Structure 1
Amino acid sequence: MTNDILILSNGPGEVTTWVRPVVKALRQQLGCDRALIRISVILSPCPNATGKEAQIVQSYPEVDRVQGAQHFFGFLLWGKTAENWDWRDRGVVVFLGGDQFFPVVIGSRLGYRTVVYAEWDARWHRWIDRFGVMKPDIIAKAPKKYRHKLKVVGDLMADVAFVGAVGAKHSRPGFSVLCQHKSANASPNHQSPITNPQSPIPNHQSPITNPQSPIPNPQSPIINHQSPITNPQSPIPNPQSPIPNPQSPIPNPQSPIPNPQSSIPNPQSPIEWIGLLPGSKPAKLIQGVPLGLAIAEHIHKARPQTRFVIPVAPTLDLVTLARFADPQENPLIQKLGWGAARLVIRDEADSRDATLIMASGLTVELTTEFPAHDILSQCCLCLTTVGANTAELGSLGVPMIVLLPTQQLDAMRAWDGLPGLFARLPGVGTSNAKLINWLILQQGRLFAWPNIWAKAEIVPEVVGQLKPQDVAQLVLEYLEHPEKLEQMRSRLRAVRGESGAAQKLAQLVQEELTHDK
């Protein structure tokens, strides 16, 4: 018997941490014969969306069809997709993000059973057939006559650490161990969301471009490791030249990496990894990149064994990221004296094999592997901005320090509800964002998702006119007291549900497929 599974989802966090493990589990549970089981994904609008969600889902080999969020309401209202998809007689609508009312409407129209994953709340109990919930307290809050529909499956985000990177092709030294977990059935995807870093970069929408200067050549901030030619105006030395401080050589990329099976770095390894997650939007990157680099430099001076990695968001190419570390492009660097760096592509055959090199000789690794869960799991600590990053790190049990610099108050515009709408209004959005952010920051509220889940600050949130040396000192205190990192790691695990949710949710879907109409 042929069946359709329609997955409803929305934002970047849901697509990577919910949809990805579930479609893998569904194929493991139901098989890969597309003639019997077809998996479609339809995305709904999300205020935090990057615009690349559909392309990311298309890279999942388990998925057969994807429709982007721009076509959602036409489907919701009229029941037709942009490409006029056909639908089989039997199927299940699976909710993995958005509004829980959507599967009620769509399931009724298609005549399909409905399964909802409920992380914190379960709604529309009367019209939804089954709920897979994260924790038992969600069942306790449901009306008694509907509790039989709810089953604890655990935490979908706890499964992300065990899912190999889809379509990852990193083979460069230094990450060969970290990135060995590949999807067995992953195949090259020609619609990869990773932008070609050699392509020209549009300049008219960049918040950091000097309008008095010509559009910079996207090749200019790149040093080819094979070439002795460097920009004489650049403060960054030729990577072929001797490193200024002989006591602090650039770490050998062949050096050992912690055991990828453990989220706790190998205590025998002389290397400790710190992840830098500056965000993906220009308003955050303009602060996050140079601030993170400056902090890294202070840490490295005190602990030369420390190495740093930036997981590059799929909406960014390497050249664009590098521009936020270029003092000629980012005025905050000269204004605040934060870190500057130059992009170095080490392998002409693979433009993703790249680093940022600072004037001191410090190397910051760049990885375009997405999602970067395998790499992040090996970090003893991460420095991150607010947003979905905090949820992913929390689900991986990776200790973090959340940075909210207020040097540029319009950096945060992703608030929910009316504040978010006012902050994103054309023309007056910048002024509104500054006012709204100032008011929200005065409330003393929690911003990191693990803290919101726990209703307590289990990971530090550092807010204000941040100074790199002060943040670095906080990081050093944690690195010098690993028991504090372990305590944070334990609390992150405790605030989430159990792993294995994807397989249990797939079992619920299978049960609904066999349910009599």
Structure 2
Amino acid sequence: MTQVDILILSNGPGEVTTWVRPVVKALRQELGNDRSVVRVSVVLSPCSNASGKEAAIALSYPEVDRVQGAEHFWQFLLRGKTFENWDWRSRGVVVFLGGDQIFPVVIGKKLGYRTVIYAEWEARWHNWINRFGVMKPEVAARVPQKYAHKFTVVGDLMLEAAGEARESLDSNSPLPITPITSSFKTELIGLLPGSKAAKLAQGIPLTLGIAEYVHAKRPQTKFVIPVAPTLDLQTLASFADPQKNSIAETFSFGGADLIVPEDAKGKALLKTTTGLTVELWQENPAYDLLSQCCICLTTVGANTAELGALGVPMIVLLPTQQLDAMRSWDGLPGLLANLPGVGTTFAKVINWLFLRLVRNKGLLAWPNIWAQQEIVPELIGKLEPQEVGEMVLDLLAHPEKLDEMRSKLHSVRGENGAAQKIAQIVCQEIGK
């Protein structure tokens, strides 16, 4: 086989963890692990949601050979040269997995490579891109007929993120039981407050407040936070400290301290003022852990797709106690919301308009979008720990409701295979 370079273009934490990871794995399965023949590079573009750790995460994938961070992207786009002056083979494919769809057009032309775009909702630059892998037939149906041959429906890459865990569950192979769930009659509840400051500021005090309320009435419940790979424990814990996070007082949350065990094998904890301990789980991906949860409390985002793919019941929380706290928008709204001085005003207006739209149309969680109906609860507004806690208690007291939610999640989660289909498209383009 001729030597080829595969260049993955991506941007934010969600794309790197839920799109890039399964695709590079599928590419290696299709093309092999001989790096002298096939080399996989990842170049990141700026993203308003980025944590700065996306490059390190991408580099941790064994299928990836080299990574360039977002801070050097514009130089690469304009001049075609990476910060470390990478060499490029004469044959290659640019694969778009996040960012702006104009990027593969420009970079593909500069390198003389074929181009492949994964498109969720909209496909652009039909004349300049070689192939598109789209999530749904509706995306391909909107393009002119003369470009139809470029389009392949591959499915939803979000489902791939939990593919490995699903295979384990579907094959009935026993998942390893972790120490947190080994005690008799333990109910494990997962807390997924997000990974960015805009969500954590409200998400941490709200979910910990809910946990305190539930635990007071059902002492057998245990709680765990699967820590996002882009987040360190000290930063996470700072949002549980009312002196560092003033929004915590809005939820009447007394605070929590970070406890890091001396034993390297032990788990870090958040201990609240009521004495509740919440384990901080740092292994990623945390699919084995999440599959053991009877229910999860989560914010909106890619995590709802992962939980849905695993068939884990969830309550989706979008608190609005501080409208200007949500500034993690993409594109122009994100730029306006983060402008110095006037950003707060823009953020409030943007989020107010967004909430009006949501209340009219709903469907923020991925499983609900797939089903086109609310199969997992979406709670939007000035949420109080006690109110949400009562909902959690009701579900725990009526396991048949959780079983029904679990069954519906299994019915709408779709089939795996999007990553493999994208890899096959890339192989076809290499042949051209």
TM-score range, shorter chain: 0.7 to 0.9
Cα deviations across residues 171-200 of structure 1 (Å, max 9, x unaligned)?
xxxxx9257xxxxxxxxxxxxxxxxxxxxx
Q: Partner of 1:382 in structure 2?
A: 296
Look up the equivalent residue of 2:272 and give its one-letter code: M
Asked if 2 retains the 8 angstrom alpha-carbon contact of 1:292 and 1:339, the reply is no
Quote the residue 1:484 is aligned against.
Answer: 401
Show structure 1 runs of 4+ deviating over 6 A.
Answer: none
Question: 1:161 touches 1:377 (CA, 8 Å); kept in 2?
Answer: no
**Gap change, CA 1:336 and 1:38, over 3 Å in 2:** closer
Superposition map of 1:186-197 within 5 A: none
Conserved 8 A contact 1:322-1:343: yes
Which residue in the other structure is 1:502 paired with?
Answer: 419
Residue-by-residue CA offset, 1:135-177 (whole Å, 9 max, x unaligned): 333333333333232223222221221347xxxxxxxxxxx92
Aligned match of 2:12: 11
2:40 matched residue in structure 1: 39
* Equivalent residue number for residue 264 of structure 2: 349
1:20 aligns with 2:21: yes
Answer yes or no: is the 8 Å Cα contact 2:159–2:305 preserved in 1. Answer: no
Letter in 1 for 2:429: E
User: Quick check: 1:273–1:379 contact (8 Å CA) kept in 2?
Assistant: yes
Deviation at 1:4, TM superposition (A): 0.6
Q: 1:54, CA displacement in angstroms?
A: 0.9
Please name the residue that 1:97 is paired with.
98
User: SS of the residue aligned with 1:57?
Assistant: helix
Structure having the larger proportion of residues in helix:
2
Equivalents in 1 of 2:177, 2:33: separation in Å?
28
CA distance in structure 2 between the aligned counterparts of 1:116 and 1:439, rounded to whole angstroms:
31
Percent of matched pairs sharing the same residue:
67
Partner AA of 1:448 in structure 2: L
Residues of 2 paired with 1:397 and 1:441: CA distance?
27
Q: How does 1:119-268 map to 2 (within 5 A)?
A: 119-163=120-164, 177=176, 253=180, 255=182
Query: Residue 319 of structure 2 corresponds to which residue in structure 1?
Result: 405
The one-letter code of the counterpart of 1:499 is N
Whole-angstrom CA distance in 1 between matches of 2:328 and 2:52: 14
Q: Secondary structure at the match of 1:126?
A: coil
Q: After alignment, is 392-401 or 16-25 more displaced?
A: 392-401
Where 2:335 maps in the other structure, the secondary structure is: helix
| Residue aligning to 1:304 | 219
Q: Does 1:57 find its partner at 2:71?
A: no
Deviations 1:401-424 (A, max 9, x none): 222223222210123444332211
CA contact under 8 A between 1:332 and 1:338: conserved in structure 2?
no
Q: 2:382 aligns with which of 451, 455, 465?
A: 465
> For 1:214-261, what per-residue CA distance to the aligned partner results, in whole angstroms no more than 9, with x for missing partners?
xxxxxxxxxxxxxxxxxxxxxxxxxxxxxxxxxxxxxx74616xxxxx
Distance in 2 (alpha carbons) for counterparts of 1:503 and 1:288: 35
Deviation of the 1:336 alpha carbon:
4.3
Which 10-residue stretch deviates more, 412-421 or 18-27? 412-421
Q: Does structure 2 retain, via aligned residues, the 8 Å contact 1:403–1:461?
A: yes
- For residues 210 and 17 of structure 2, the distance between their equivalents in structure 1, rounded to whole angstroms, comes to 28
Counterpart of 1:117 in structure 2 is 118
If the length of structure 1 is used for normalisation, what is the TM-score?
0.74
- Structure 1 equivalent of residue 232 of structure 2: 317
- Alpha-carbon deviation of 1:475? 1.6
For the residues of structure 1 that align with 2:128 and 2:250, how far apart are their CA atoms?
Answer: 57
Q: Secondary structure at the match of 1:132?
A: strand
Q: CA deviation at 1:315?
A: 3.4
Give the residue type in structure 2 aligned to 1:422: L
Is 1:285–2:200 an aligned residue pair?
Answer: yes
Which residue of the partner structure matches residue 212 of structure 1?
A: none
SS in 2 for 1:280: coil
Unmatched runs of 5 consecutive residues or more in structure 2: 166-174
Residue 509 of structure 1: how far off its partner (Å): 1.4
Cα distance in 1, alignment partners of residues 125 and 57 from structure 2: 30
1:435 & 1:102 partners in 2: Cα distance?
30
- More deviation in 432-441 or 274-283? 432-441
Change in 2 beyond 3 A, CA 1:419/1:91: closer
RMSD (Å) for aligned C-alpha atoms: 2.7
Shift of 1:453: 5.3
Q: Is residue 270–residue 280 contact of structure 2 (8 Å, CA) maintained in 1? A: yes
C-alpha contact 2:365 2:378 (8 A) present in aligned 1? no
Q: Distance in 2 between matches of 1:148 and 1:332?
A: 52
Cα 1:491/1:420, change in 2 over 3 Å: farther
1-side partners of 2:196 and 2:96: how far apart? 27
Task: Note closer, same or farther for the CA distance 1:278–1:452 as it changes in structure 2 (3 Å cut).
Answer: same
Task: Give the match for residue 369 of structure 1.
Answer: 283
| Structure 1, gaps ≥5 residues long | 165-175, 180-251, 257-268
Instruction: Report deviation, 1:491.
Output: 4.5
- Alpha-carbon deviation of 1:130? 2.2
Deviation at 1:279, TM superposition (A): 2.2
Q: Is 1:155–1:496's contact at 8 Å kept on the other side of the alignment?
A: no
Q: Supply the AA of the counterpart residue of 2:364.
A: A
Give 1:448's match in structure 2, choosing from 364, 377, 384.
364
Answer whether contact 1:15 1:53 (CA < 8 A) is retained.
yes
Alpha-carbon distance in structure 1 between the residues aligned to 2:158 and 2:380: 27
